[in-house]
Amino acid sequence: MRVIELNKSVTESNDLDAKNLRDELTKAKVCLINLMSSPGSGKTTLLKRTITDLKDKIRFGVVEADIASDVDAIAIEENGAKSIQVHTDGMCHMDAGMTRRGVFELGIEDIDIAVLENVGNLICPAEFDTGAHVNVMILSIPEGDDKPLKYPLMFSMVDALVVTKYDTKSFFNFDEDKCYEAVKKLNPNVRIFPVSAKTGEGMNEWEEYLLGLKKDM
Ligand SMILES: Nc1nc2c(ncn2[C@@H]2O[C@H](COP(=O)(O)OP(=O)(O)OP(=O)(O)O)[C@@H](O)[C@H]2O)c(=O)[nH]1
Ligand SMILES: [Mg+2]
């Protein structure tokens, strides 16, 4: 019986693939955001509201990565942005090669910001550079304030953290100070955006951040 250790070499070439993809998209002035979170934390809902709010300012395209189904891509298209669904053949993350295919199948000619809605989980997606310019994670209030302690890699590698379902705060013992302190310890420069995609609270700051990303490309 042979055991082949593929992890290292795969990661090495993935890093190169990711750099090449990032460079190509930079030349095309398209910002790629890698959006990560647990299943059901509110990625699609946040995207739908953001796309609607910014429809006259940012042209979005969304790559929906899931193990199965096409419901998220349909939901995004119904909201007026173009979208493509990719299935990951059971894999729990997207790598740079898969992201490249998704982004170019989506088509980048008429978009300012491409969003990869990564497969829902807080572990594997943090380990693979997708080629994105910006990594964003969502933590929803019902998941609890201790998640930075349990999934430190994800919290330490993101540029921005959106804390969503803020409207549910009164129902959960979510200690914001404790949570943000743990996050800042792992990642001092992270931007934190508390929002509710349901009520719209906090969405302005998040959307200003996105407008800044478009401007910087
Ligand atoms: N109260 C409240 N509910 C929300 C909010 N955002 C999302 N939800 C609800 O949370 C559930 C999951 O939201 P989705 O947007 O599908 O989550 P997701 O992260 O895209 O889920 P997957 O793609 O399956 O990983 C839905 O029932 C949403 O209506 C919010 O800000 N407030
Ligand atoms: Mg979704």
- 66/59 Cα distance (integer angstroms): 23
- Whether 107 is in a domain gets the answer yes
Q: Is 44 helix (H, G, I), strand (E, B) or coil?
A: helix
Q: Which residue has the least CA distance to atom 5 on ligand 1?
A: 165
- Whether 99 is in a domain gets the answer yes
- Whether 85 is in a domain gets the answer yes
pLDDT at 5: 32
- 169/29 Cα distance (integer angstroms): 38
- Whether 8 is in a domain gets the answer no
Report the domain count for the chain: 1
> Which pLDDT band, with edges at 50, 70 and 90, does 14 fall under?
very high
132 burial type by CB count under 10 A (0-12 exposed, 13-18 middle, 19+ buried): buried
pLDDT at 70: 87
Q: Is 135 helix (H, G, I), strand (E, B) or coil?
A: strand
- 210/47 Cα distance (integer angstroms): 12
pLDDT at 11: 54
Domain at 80, CATH number = 3.40.50.300
Instruction: Kindly state if the Cβ of 40 falls inside 6 Å of ligand 1.
Output: yes
Q: For 23-79, how does the pLDDT look when each residue is reduced to its tens digit (9 = 90+)?
A: 999 999 999 999 999 999 999 999 999 999 999 999 999 999 988 888 899 999 999
- Whether 5 is in a domain gets the answer no
- 72/88 Cα distance (integer angstroms): 14
Q: Which residue has the least CA distance to atom 10 on ligand 1?
A: 42
pLDDT at 10: 55
SS3 for 177-196, per residue? HHHHHHHHHHCCCCEEEECC
pTM above 0.75, yes or no: yes
Instruction: Kindly state if the Cβ of 196 falls inside 6 Å of ligand 1.
Output: yes
Q: Are the C-beta atoms of 158 and 36 separated by less than 8 Å?
A: yes
- Expressed in angstroms and rounded, the spacing between residue 208 Cα and the centre of ligand 1 is 22
Counting residues of the chain whose pLDDT is more than 90, the rounded percentage is 85
Range of the domain at 75: 13-216
Instruction: Kindly state if the Cβ of 80 falls inside 6 Å of ligand 1.
Output: no
The DSSP 8-state label assigned to residue 54 in this structure reads T
Phi-psi region of 29 (alpha: psi -120 to 50; beta: other; left: phi over 0): left
Q: Would you state the structure tokens that stand for residue 48, as one six-digit string?
A: 């739908």
- Whether 7 is in a domain gets the answer no
Q: For 163-182, how does the pLDDT look when each residue is reduced to its tens digit (9 = 90+)?
A: 999 999 999 999 999 999 99
Counting residues of the chain whose pLDDT is more than 70, the rounded percentage is 94
Mean pLDDT of the chain: 92
- Whether 95 is in a domain gets the answer yes
- Whether 201 is in a domain gets the answer yes
pLDDT at 4: 19
